[in-house]
Amino acid sequence: MDEYIECKVSNWPKFMVFSQHLNTQKWLFRGQADSDWTLKTSHERLLDQLVDKYKFIISKVCEENRELIKLQRFSLESKIDKIKSQTLDINKIKNLKNEVETILHKSEKLAIENFKKDAQLYMNHEKQIDLLAAMQHYGTPTRLLDVTASLFIALFFAFESDIYDSKGELKPKVIWAFRRESLLSEQAGLHTASEDNSIYDLLDDELKQKQECIELACKILSGKFDYEGCIVHVTPNYYNERISAQNGSFLLSSKLGETFEDSLRHTLGISEKSYKIPKIIYIDDFLKMKSFLQTRLVKFVFDPVKCHSADNVLKNTNVSSLNLFPDIEGLARDIKY
| Domain locations in the chain as residue ranges | 4-41+142-334, 43-86
Q: Any alpha helices (H) in 120-204, and if so which ranges?
A: 128-137, 151-159, 180-193
> CB–CB of 245/152 below 8 Å?
no
The 3-state DSSP class for residue 233 equals strand
State the pLDDT at residue 258. Answer: 85
State the pLDDT at residue 153. Answer: 94
Instruction: Write out pLDDT tens, residues 53-112.
Output: 655 554 555 455 555 444 444 454 555 455 455 555 556 556 666 777 778 888 888 889
* Residues 6+ away with beta carbon under 8 Å from 46: 141
State the pLDDT at residue 318. Answer: 81
Average pLDDT over residues 179-183: 86
What torsion do the CA atoms of 273, 274, 277, 282 make, to the nearest 10 degrees? Answer: 170
> CB–CB of 216/224 below 8 Å?
no
Average pLDDT over residues 121-145: 87
State the pLDDT at residue 91. Answer: 61
State the pLDDT at residue 68. Answer: 47
> CB–CB of 8/282 below 8 Å?
yes
In angstroms, rounded to a whole number, what is the distance separating the alpha carbons of residues 170 and 308? 8
In angstroms, rounded to a whole number, what is the distance separating the alpha carbons of residues 189 and 183? 10
